Amino acid sequence: MKTVMVVVGTRPEIIKMAPVIRALQKNRIPLTFVHCGQHYDYNMSQQFIEELNLPSPDYGYKVKAYSQGAQTARIIAQMEKLLKKTSPSLVLVEGDTNGVLATALAAVKLGILVGHVEAGLRSFDLRMPEEHNRRLTDHVSTYLFAPTPTAENNLKKEAVWGKIYVTGNTVIDAVLQHLPLAEQKSKILEKVGFSKFALVTAHRAENVDDIVVLKNFLEAFDEAPIPVVYPMHPRTKKRLRQNRIYSKIKKSKNIQILPPVGYLDFLVLMKKCELIVTDSGGIQEEATAPCIRKPVLVTRLSTERPEAVEAGFAKVVGIEKRDILKAIETALKNRRKLPQKSPYGDGHAAEKIVEIIKMELSF
């Protein structure tokens, strides 16, 4: 029997694959759902699966590894065993994590077709492990589901072997599907101590593993002209404790640290905040959804989401304290009217992807 295997491993993958899983179910396409184990913390993964009313994974793993290479290798080994056991017709992966690359490599070595959701993103910054992952995954994939024409052009320039389809990004599907539920269920605003605030996140290795950069961020947040609400990634909290900074930050009257929040809570925080300061790629996309439409300051040196910048939603502000503070002040003072439409599609990306799969594999 022909089946599609959907593999996730992190919070953003679960969110972006949720509409695809629903579209596969709606079309009655046999589905195997796998969690490859890259994030094994409950708050970072299983919580999101339950919140989004997704089926429990048919197979789930926990991968504890202390280096990029070890984690990637362990996921390759376990996915190879599973793929041999289940023999799916197609493996769908999303994004640019170690789990995505590992799963794609395991599949292609066994002659199993790979479909890459969100193909063609490029930061052109090889310091980022995500850039290696997304490039390599694109070059072993049979079907490349590019979210935008810019992503399509990147793939064509690199002469990838697979078939390219421009579908939009499933992240917009996810926001539109889940915000009404979030506003109905979430109680997160009862925990927020400010009526107006900036929402901030930081989790990328090149930022939080560099204590100088991390201090820049925290000093900027502490001195920001608007209170900051900061759901803190476990990786960041660990780094702060290692450098004996966490207790000091907890005492700041301008920063409210929250534990990692669920997806529904995060949607409500995005909807309510004045602006977003982040190093996340997915949040740059989510902020462009018609029901969110918030300015985003990107605390990185580059972005693989140039469409958000070109549309006026996002601005890359770098990692220096002075630049971050100036950008926050400017964004609050000069509020720009943001576009009504997202550059990442109309919220029907998952349906388009599943229609392509039906056509290509004759489901």
pLDDT digits (tens, 9 = 90+) for 2-18: 999 999 998 889 999 99
What CATH number did the domain enclosing 67 receive?
Answer: 3.40.50.2000
Q: Report residue 207's pLDDT band, with 50, 70 and 90 as the boundaries.
A: confident
User: Do 228 and 255 form a contact (C-beta atoms < 8 A)?
Assistant: yes
Question: Would 183 be classed as within a structural domain?
Answer: no
Predicted confidence (pLDDT) at residue 41 exceeds the cutoff of 80: no
- Averaged confidence pLDDT in the chain: 94
Q: Report residue 227's pLDDT band, with 50, 70 and 90 as the boundaries.
A: very high
Q: Catalytic residue, from 139, 203, 233, 348: name it.
A: 203
Q: Phi/psi class of residue 168: alpha, beta or left (left: φ > 0; alpha: ψ in -120 to 50)?
A: left
Question: Would 340 be classed as within a structural domain?
Answer: no
The pLDDT of 311-320, averaged and rounded, is: 96
Domain count, the chain: 2
Same domain, 262 and 157: no
Note down the domain range covering 270.
Answer: 189-333
Same domain, 26 and 146: yes
Same domain, 13 and 152: yes
Clarify whether 203 is annotated catalytic: yes
Same domain, 138 and 219: no
Percentage of the residues of the chain whose pLDDT score is greater than 90: 81
User: Do 227 and 332 form a contact (C-beta atoms < 8 A)?
Assistant: no
